[in-house]
Amino acid sequence: MENKVNLNEKLAQFAVHWSPHTIGQYNGNDLMVAKLKGEFHWHKHDDTDDFFMVISGTLRILLRDDAGEREVILEPGEIYVVPRGLEHKPVADEEVHILLIEPTGTPNTGDPSTAAPRRVI
């Protein structure tokens, strides 16, 4: 990245929910912003952890494994990393803006056939 990036300016460039937009890269990772509203579906990433940082709003991440279900609540400025292989479901009761960091090519749904296309802004 040759120039600095303003997250709010990048977020103002689109309105669609649940569609990450790549704003830069480092060390083989995409830096992405996304707008979330409503519920995503249960999914997991077998090969990568899933990094979430809330920019604005409140994000709930539901988690489930053999021990049962639990919930992590993230407020602006907070981060959470979902460990690889752990089933999770992000929920945004109101619109939430987030920063994601993932290895380039990681499908946001955990399945390449249902993943959002890679968008660079």
Decide if 96 contacts 35 (C-beta within 8 A): yes
Q: What is the mean pLDDT of the chain?
A: 92
Residue 116, CA distances (Å) to 31, 78, 112 in order: 15, 25, 8
Residue 80, CA distances (Å) to 5, 67, 85, 121 in order: 22, 19, 15, 24
pLDDT digits (tens, 9 = 90+) for 13-49: 999 999 999 999 999 999 999 999 999 999 998 999 9
> What is the band of 109 on the pLDDT scale with cuts at 50, 70, 90?
low
pLDDT digits (tens, 9 = 90+) for 91-108: 999 999 999 999 888 777
Residue-range domain boundaries for the chain: 7-106
Rg (CA), the chain: 14
Position 38 scores a pLDDT of 97
Instruction: Report the CATH number of the 7-106 domain.
Output: 2.60.120.10
* Identity of the residue numbered 81: V
* Identity of the residue numbered 43: H
How much is the average pLDDT of 75-88? 96
